[in-house]
Structure 1
Amino acid sequence: MVVNRIRDLLRRHPAARQAVREVRGRLPRCLSGLASDPVPSRRRFDLALPRLEDGSRDGPDSLAFNAPGELWLPRKLDQGGLAGFEPETLACFLAALDHARPGAVLDVGANVGVYALLAAARCRRPVHAFEPTPHIAGAARDLAEANRLPVEVAELAVGDRTGKAVFTLSSTSDASNSLAAGFRPEAGRLEVRVETLSRWCEHTGTVPAVVKIDTETTEPDVISGAVDVLRESRPWVFCEVLPGRGVEERLMELLRPLEYTWHQLGEELPCPARTVIDGRISGPEQRMWLFAPEEPPATLWTHARAWRRALSSCVPGPGHTTAPAADGDRTG
């Protein structure tokens, strides 16, 4: 009788059902939970970095990762390395670093800063990462300092206006935190500083050459606040496109007057220009698009193929295991 009443309660109240699911996700299976392994307080591992076959790039062979154990992105990298994390996009991103005119790299919606760290390890451009969640921005800053990489981490959100805004923390994953209310089930909110990319670049004197944007459905707002920068500096833009939320239409409206072309990134190289931006084209594991200020040259795709081959070997080594550190152990 009691069990049936509890089940009825959970069916009627999605918030209660979500809370139970979150609790079960943290409990071991022996206690009717869903977690197969305990979450380490710190996640420590070496992340292998790609290097071209001709050995023409300086920089480290790997990054020493020491990050909070509950964060999604370090867990993903710990399990599969860079070979298992958006390798098609990373390959084109690295090729764009080789090809783009002089200028900075901007990682907007950086999380712990994988794109920013990789750029700093494989090029000599100024690198800036933008992450509004305080403890995640702190982890990105720690990783850059521990690996002696010149990444400047700005603890702010990028959007279509300047000021303060409510930032929603997702109960699904810390990688789904967003300025878009209701994008994912909510675990909390915090007030964050927001700035447009055009204003930030003007204030800091930064000229961007390559920009990566992953802000969980607010990418059109980022582009809207960066129109002046895109018109004047013509950076190459790597942008996540999630379907079904009006993102595609707004992006096309903003990019058409700027004469950018859009290319859905995947295993096919060269990636052909598309007539429309449609997030449904790509699979659930690949939502990144390239917005190109000019027709991508053949050399860019050649470099992308070379980087893709290099990334295929960036997997955890034999006998790799996560080495949890004590709660007080902190990088840097």
Structure 2
Amino acid sequence: MVTGQMRAFVRRYPAVRHATRQLRIRLPQGLGGVSRDRRPPRQRSFSLRLPRRAGSPTAGPDTLQVSAPGGFWMAKKLQRGGLANYEPETLACFLAALEHARSGAVLDIGSNVGVYSTLAAARSQRPTYAFEPTPAIAAAARAVAVRNNLPVRVVELALSSHSGTGPLFLSATSDASNSLARGFRPGVGRLPVRLETLSHWQEAEGVCPSILKLDTETTEPDVIAGGLEVLRRFRPWVFCEVLPGWGVEERLMALLEPLEYRWYQLCGHPPYRPRPTITGNSPDPTQRMWLFAPTTLPEGVWDTARAWRRAIDACTPLAGQTAE
């Protein structure tokens, strides 16, 4: 009875469940520890195959050397499935945008370990910035860029609708779900982080953005609100996650409609058609990314995206690296 009550208590409170899991990882199995085959490694190091489109320049590495703490969700997913199993629809369109969007910088906002920013640096000559407010994850992103000699500048702050400091709520579900939004996921704590608006940061740095990727766990409208002057002046392409149930859709449309942006849901295979509304609902719940375009897309962009998708589908895990 006591054991059952303890298990129910642990399941009910995410912070307790998280702490219990961390404790069991460190205990011998005979004392209730997690079995060896289920324990994450202390450090996860592997090679990640990168796509190369047929006919594209041969510059840049064919693989990315990744090393990150063993419990990081993103590193685990990439090691197990490769890029072929991580947002391939969006990655293909993102790589096509690197070729078709006007010259300018790439901003990977909510970068985690830097999948989009490292791809941009590996497959283009564009200035590239990765924004990640969680210190440990930002350190991992910086280490990946340095190890692969890629010119990615990691910016350790959270972009929002105002400047100052604020709490980042740490998720019990996954380190990839940390958010400025209270209650987005069951939490295990919070830490103060520096906040800045995109417009203020751009003015201070003198960067000319042409491609933005936003994945900030339901605070994407706040990033847009703090960067309206950037969108008006530079008209960047915006790749944005849209999750249902948090009022994100309505806020995004209210912000983007006056700027005459068009929106495309990146679900299935291209070509994609402009949608009359933005919705968090998707035929495939693993595909939540949208493209917000300032003008009619250039001719040939979907052909380029299809070619990149074929290249990404070949980016499966390298032999001998699928296990933890």
TM over 0.5: yes
- 1:235 matched to 2:267? The reply is no
User: Which residue in the other structure is 1:162 paired with?
Assistant: 163
- What residue identity is the alignment partner of 1:23? T
Q: CA deviation at 1:37?
A: 2.0
Q: Normalization by structure 2: what TM-score?
A: 0.93
Mapped contact 1:24–1:34 kept (Cα < 8 A): no
Q: Which runs of 5+ in 2 are unaligned?
A: none
* SS of match in other structure, 2:239: strand
Mapped contact 1:42–1:66 kept (Cα < 8 A): yes
Mapped contact 2:129–2:155 kept (Cα < 8 A): yes
1:66-124 CA distances to partner (integer Å, 9 max, x unpaired)?
Answer: 11111110110000100000000000000001001110000000111110000000000
- 1:70 matched to 2:71? The reply is yes
User: Which residue in the other structure is 2:42 paired with?
Assistant: 41
- 1:133 matched to 2:134? The reply is yes
- What residue identity is the alignment partner of 2:2? V
**1:28-107 to 2 correspondences below 5 Å:** 31=32, 36-107=37-108
- 1:303 matched to 2:300? The reply is no
Q: How far apart in 1 are the matches of 2:4 and 2:97?
A: 58
Q: CA deviation at 1:3?
A: 4.0
Mapped contact 1:29–1:36 kept (Cα < 8 A): no
Q: How far apart in 2 are the matches of 1:278 and 1:223?
A: 17
Q: How far apart in 1 are the matches of 2:66 and 2:4?
A: 46
- What residue identity is the alignment partner of 2:126? R
The structure-2 alpha-carbon separation of the partners of 1:34 and 1:293, relative to structure 1 and needing over 3 Å to count, comes to farther
Report the more deviating stretch, 186-195 or 24-33.
Answer: 24-33
Q: How far apart in 2 are the matches of 1:34 and 1:302?
A: 48
Q: CA deviation at 1:266?
A: 1.8
Q: How far apart in 1 are the matches of 2:114 and 2:6?
A: 42
User: Which residue in the other structure is 1:204 paired with?
Assistant: 205
Q: Normalization by structure 1: what TM-score?
A: 0.91
User: Which residue in the other structure is 1:10 paired with?
Assistant: 9
- What residue identity is the alignment partner of 1:227? L
The structure-2 alpha-carbon separation of the partners of 1:217 and 1:282, relative to structure 1 and needing over 3 Å to count, comes to farther
The structure-2 alpha-carbon separation of the partners of 1:282 and 1:238, relative to structure 1 and needing over 3 Å to count, comes to farther
- What residue identity is the alignment partner of 2:114? G
Mapped contact 1:128–1:154 kept (Cα < 8 A): yes
Q: CA deviation at 1:2?
A: 3.0
Mapped contact 1:44–1:322 kept (Cα < 8 A): no
Q: Which runs of 5+ in 1 are unaligned?
A: 324-332
Q: CA deviation at 1:63?
A: 0.6
Q: How far apart in 1 are the matches of 2:163 and 2:323?
A: 41
1:7-50 CA distances to partner (integer Å, 9 max, x unpaired)?
Answer: 6x639x832x6624763585598848588522101111110000
User: Which residue in the other structure is 1:328 paired with?
Assistant: none
* SS of match in other structure, 2:122: helix
Q: How far apart in 1 are the matches of 2:29 and 2:95?
A: 41
Q: How far apart in 2 are the matches of 1:282 and 1:248?
A: 16
The structure-2 alpha-carbon separation of the partners of 1:151 and 1:282, relative to structure 1 and needing over 3 Å to count, comes to farther
Mapped contact 1:109–1:130 kept (Cα < 8 A): yes
Q: CA deviation at 1:320?
A: 2.7
* SS of match in other structure, 1:40: coil
- What residue identity is the alignment partner of 1:293? P
Q: How far apart in 1 are the matches of 2:263 and 2:222?
A: 17
The structure-2 alpha-carbon separation of the partners of 1:41 and 1:246, relative to structure 1 and needing over 3 Å to count, comes to same
Count residues with an aligned counterpart.
320
User: Which residue in the other structure is 1:277 paired with?
Assistant: 278
- What residue identity is the alignment partner of 1:10? F
Q: How far apart in 2 are the matches of 1:18 and 1:311?
A: 37
Report the more deviating stretch, 194-203 or 282-291.
Answer: 282-291
Q: How far apart in 2 are the matches of 1:4 and 1:189?
A: 30
Report the more deviating stretch, 296-305 or 132-141.
Answer: 296-305
- What residue identity is the alignment partner of 2:137? I
User: Which residue in the other structure is 1:171 paired with?
Assistant: 172
1:132-158 CA distances to partner (integer Å, 9 max, x unpaired)?
Answer: 001110110111011000000010000
1:184-215 CA distances to partner (integer Å, 9 max, x unpaired)?
Answer: 11111111100011110111000101000000
- 1:23 matched to 2:20? The reply is yes
RMSD: 2.1
- What residue identity is the alignment partner of 1:172? T
User: Which residue in the other structure is 1:142 paired with?
Assistant: 143
* SS of match in other structure, 2:281: coil
